[in-house]
Amino acid sequence: MKSVLFSRFFILLPWILIVIIMLDVDTRRPAPPLTSRPYFAPYSGGRGGARFPLRRGGPGRGREPRNESWPRPPPPEPPLPTIYAITPTYSRPVQKAELTRLANTFRQVAQLHWILVEDAAARSELVSRFLARAGLPSTHLHVPTPRRYKRPGLPRATEQRNAGLAWLRQRHGHQRAQPGVLFFADDDNTYSLELFQEMRTTRKVSVWPVGLVGGRRYERPLVENGKVVGWYTGWRADRPFAIDMAGFAVSLQVILSNPKAVFKRRGSQPGMQESDFLRQITTVEELEPKANNCTKVLVWHTRTEKVNLANEPKYHLDTVTIEV
């Protein structure tokens, strides 16, 4: 009887040992990170596509003890430059729809700060409520366009973009600027996520093509040997910078070191605002072409059709008030 028990024990012993070893190996695997990275991290993608930095020291050097229980924390990544998107916006039937599309895009971009500037005498309830639920770091400003400038044929959103610039300068004026990039994001355009990846690396002023603008399928800076040498455009080719507002980004440092650069009402015609502004902060030779030497369209100057409200009732209104 005793010998039977002994022989069973010795048959089982190796198996018990194998199970113990396997359980031990399993518990030494690194635990998954507790904090998830954003679904889309344009900056790390932009630097060679590696989502995580490679370990320093390389493999096979034998510096790390083999039986280390936890992986070392990865070396700190350089701070991600913040993208500041200045969006002028005004009250109209499609406003909330436009802002919703925009927020859905911006929410997927890491380290983006939305500066929403209402063309209004006060912050509206609709926009305040919207921003509070948008799930984005944001700043809500307002400034009304003077009545005399609200005419067809005159530039739009001059005062609102300047209010955004003033906020940025005030916020960063007293300290050494953190890395940042400014971009003017009108509320009706369409922005690809790749665009933010491209603009994030702006050193001074960067440029790229814009789709569906100027009476053409696209406009773009012409690039030779990595430098902008002219403009492909069908409209006012004499513009010093023949580019739409959606076609460039400026580093925060350039905005701060040119404190007087603003959008001007006096003498500025529609379509010339971009040139008038860019002339104050850069030269064509200095521009940094993005989007594969300006051969890819990553933003579209879409315009929303004026909505038909011909059947809105004058009497017998709905029994509830609904925000649209």
- Which of 187, 198, 219, 276 lies at the binding interface for ligand UGA (CB under 6 A)? 187
- Give the span between the Cα atoms of 123 and 129, in whole angstroms: 10
Cβ proximity to ligand UGA, 44 vs 233, nearer residue: 233
Task: Find the part of the chain contacting ligand UGA (CB under 6 A) among 106-114, 135-143, 149-157, 173-181.
Answer: 149-157
- The reply to whether 288 sits near ligand UGA by the rule CB under 6 A is no
10 Å CB burial of residue 228 (0-12, 13-18, 19+) is buried
Angle 190-192-193 from CA coordinates, rounded to 5°: 135
- The annotation status of 303 as a binding-site residue, yes or no, is yes
Residues between 1 and 40 that touch ligand UGA (CB under 6 A):
none
Closest to ligand UGA by CB, 88 or 180: 88
Q: Is 68 a catalytic residue?
A: no
Contact 136, 112 (CB under 8 A): yes
Residue 312 identity: E
Sign of CA dihedral 41, 164, 231, 236: positive
Q: How far is the CB of 87 from ligand UGA (least distance, A)?
A: 6
| Amino acid symbol at 42 | P
Three-state secondary-structure class, residue 57: coil
Stretch that binds Mn ion, among 72-80, 183-191, 216-224, 268-276 (CB under 5 A): 183-191
Q: How many CA atoms lie within 13 A of 122 on its CB side?
A: 3
Report 240-259 residues binding ligand UGA (CB under 6 A): 244-245
Among 80, 97, 139, 188, contact with Mn ion (rule: CB under 5 A): 188
Interaction of residue 90 with ligand UGA, rule CB under 6 A? yes
What does DSSP say about strands 82-89 and 112-118: parallel, antiparallel, or unpaired? parallel
Residue 202 marked in a binding site: no
Which residues are known binding-site members for UDP-alpha-D-glucuronate? 88-90, 119, 156, 161, 186-188, 301-303
Active site residues: 274
